[in-house]
Amino acid sequence: MKIIRKAAGMRSFSESERRKGKRIAFVPTMGYLHEGHLSLLRRARKIGDTTVMSIFINPLQFGPGEDFKRYPRAMKRDLMLAKREGCHAVFIPGSGEMYPAGEKTRVEVPGLSDVLCGKTRKGHFVGVTTVVAKLLNAVNPHFLILGRKDVQQAVIIERMVKDLRFAAKVVVCPTVREKGGLALSSRNKYLSEREKSDARVLFRALSLGKRLVRDGEKSARVIKANMKRLIGRYQSIDLEYVSIVHPKSLEEIRTIKGDAIIALAARVRKARLIDNVLARPKR
Ligand code: PAF
């Protein structure tokens, strides 16, 4: 497994793979890998010939007071896991490589970036789209593999890839969950066992919302009220939002007529957690 630290090195590796007729599948990460990331690497191996993963904790997507400094890191373990999953190359640029002195350009997808998590995490998605654009330029993959847990991120990146005519096909993979339903996230590391057990209510609430939609409830207000009541039983959980939105436009839905994303964000002490499900009325 190759370790590549420079964008130019990454590009020449990709060019040489492409010359050999290999299809490159790329999984961008911020490291501290868990089963969710590994499922993305497995998908990459399945659909591509050459798997590339990046590890870069992107300072630009963290706001002031967020957890950039304490974001969990485990480089040695990550590399061991990536190798075990058959990854061919890991791109590990430093901050100076991604944001050299004097660079100024930002990539923004307005609208989609301002709703849901974008309301409280100002500038977060500009950080995400800017770094993903830079990573795509370096890796030049055939496939870009993302997780559905970060559904807003996936929708925004799909839009950016389309608008900027990147050649990569975006592949969005299912959320991987612990036994009790808690979505896997590197930030679960911040939770105690007790907090983890409390946090499972988030998926129970999403499942309740999904059930209500399936059983014919059309009012988003009623569904959200039921979910909030359930989450409200847990003092340790500070709910930031529950929203029901259109899967592509991310516009808030009031009356449910077709597929909808039910998404939420909550703070459980030091951890800000997000999760979502796709809800479908029975036809
Ligand atoms: O989902 C993440 O880990 C990050 O937002 C990403 C896509 C690697 C960009 O830094």
Query: pLDDT tens for residues 178-234?
Result: 999 999 999 999 999 999 999 999 999 999 999 999 999 999 999 999 999 999 999
**Residue to substitute in 62, 132, 137, 144 for testing ligand 1 pocket (most ligand atoms within 8 angstroms of CB):** 132
Taking the CA of residue 28 as reference, the ligand 1 atom at the shortest distance is 8
Q: Report pLDDT for 70.
A: 95
Using alpha carbons only, what angle is made at residue 101 by residues 100 and 105, rounded to the nearest 5 degrees?
70
The pLDDT assigned to 283 comes to 77
Outline where DSSP puts E strands in 73-135.
89-91
How far apart (Å, rounded) are the C-alpha atoms in residues 182 and 176? 9
If you take atom 6 of ligand 1, which residue's CA is the nearest one? Answer: 29
Written as six digits, the tokens of 100 are: 């050299």
Predicted local distance difference test score (pLDDT) of residue 272: 97
Give the catalytic positions in this structure.
Answer: 37
What's the predicted TM-score (pTM) here? 0.98
Q: How far is CA 229 from CA 124, 217, 233, 255, 276, in A?
A: 29, 16, 7, 20, 17
Could you tell me the CA-to-CA distances from 67 to 149, 191, 198 in Å, in that order? 19, 14, 21
Q: Which residues of the chain have pLDDT under 50?
A: none
- pLDDT number for residue 47: 98
How much distance in Å is there from the Cα of 273 to the middle of ligand 1? 15
Residue 153 CA to ligand 1 center (angstroms) comes to 8
CA angle 189, 3, 138 (to 5 degrees): 95
Ligand 1 atom 3, closest CA:
29
